[in-house]
Amino acid sequence: MPANVLDPKNLTGPQKAAILLLSMGEKFTTAFFKNLDEESIKRIGKHMSRLTDIPSNVLKAVMSEFEKDLKGDENLYVSGRKFLEDVMRESLDADKAEEVYKAIGDESSNIPFSDLAYITAPNLVHVIKGEHPQTIALILSHLPQENAAEILILLPEEIKVDVALRIINIGQVQDELVRELDQSIKKDLSRIGIATRKFDGVETLANILNVVDGKTEDYVLSNIEKEDTDLAEIIRQKMFVFEDLLQVDDRSFREILHNVETQLLAKSLKTASEALTEKIFSSLSERAADMLREDMEILGPVRLMEVEEAQQAILRTARRLEEEGKIVISGKGGEEVFV
């Protein structure tokens, strides 16, 4: 669903839900999906997977409608704004919460150029490429490094080096000048109507499907596949499943096992492949391997749901360790390149 066809006046219910949930983040959405029926997950998930860039006016309209509905419900006496703040505080990190606040018109933030971090690089380059190199350098110096790098790559060759050198020598700039430039850029973006928020709907949906139960995962993917085989395959490629642990390097694999309880590991191996089972045992000490075999013998038959929950728990541990920088995962959904 390309961003240019999103009209806040003509959005369907599932489209609005997809936009809202993408804005709220994976933690909130995962918890939300766990309490939703499969048909609704399929309909919302289909739209989430096709979202990439969401215009700011669309995001603001969806958020405002959500807040208005909360305030307007005669049987729900709650402050919509306070509800959003409570939800975001519990489910989003500071950066994502800041993004949502901006989308619904929060006026408390006055960080220069903060809105530009959510504008797609090609669109932003289109707006600033005619500015003086010093002005462009000032803007890039206020953006996250990843965003600034994208823009620097796309700048015309004749000014790229000049801008880079000016970033090095940016020095101190008067606050008033920065604020005036910030307002000027915002007006330019508003005038040409290209301000958008960047989302990777496929990545988000893949991460959510990594956490839901196997039945829901199969249902959602199989239904998306009926409409778009290529899209379903892309989602699968982004997902990190239990068997992908085979691709994890030995050091990282041992770190994962070190953080997993033996009983949980015993359950997870009930449906594991012979190759993964062998890798697990060969990565354990002799004593730990013996304990695991004993636990597996004592365990007996286990419901498939419990096995899947154990595997998901181990995958959550792996993802947590990766986020903490303790391991590197380059399995099915990874794109790490080593040279």
More confident residue, 239 or 117: 239
Q: Which residue, 189, 180, 186, is CA-closest to 123?
A: 189
Please give the pLDDT value at position 330.
56
Neighbours of 59 (CB within 10 A): 26
**Lowest-confidence range among 78-82, 270-274, 327-331?**
78-82
Would you say residue 339 has pLDDT above 50? no
Same fold: 120-194 with 244-339? yes
Which residue shows structure tokens 């880079």?
A: 164
More confident residue, 175 or 292: 292
Please give the pLDDT value at position 230.
85
Q: Which residue, 146, 86, 152, is CA-closest to 125?
A: 152
Please give the pLDDT value at position 123.
78
Please give the pLDDT value at position 70.
57
> What percent of the chain is modeled with pLDDT above 70?
77
Confidence of residue 45 (pLDDT cuts 50, 70, 90): confident
The mean pLDDT of the chain is 77
Instruction: Give dist(CA 111, CA 178) in Å, integer.
Output: 10
Domain ranges of the chain: 3-41+53-111, 120-194, 244-339
What does the DSSP 8-state code read for residue 239?
-
Please give the pLDDT value at position 290.
93
Q: So what CATH class is 244-339? A: mainly alpha
Q: So what CATH class is 120-194? A: mainly alpha
pLDDT tens digits, residue range 207-227? 778 767 777 778 888 888 888
Q: Is the pTM of this model over 0.85?
A: no
Instruction: Give dist(CA 59, CA 135) in Å, integer.
Output: 29
Phi, psi (degrees; rounded to nearest 5) at 197 = -105, 140
**Lowest-confidence range among 61-75, 100-114, 118-132, 245-259?**
100-114
7: left (phi over 0), alpha (psi -120 to 50) or beta: beta
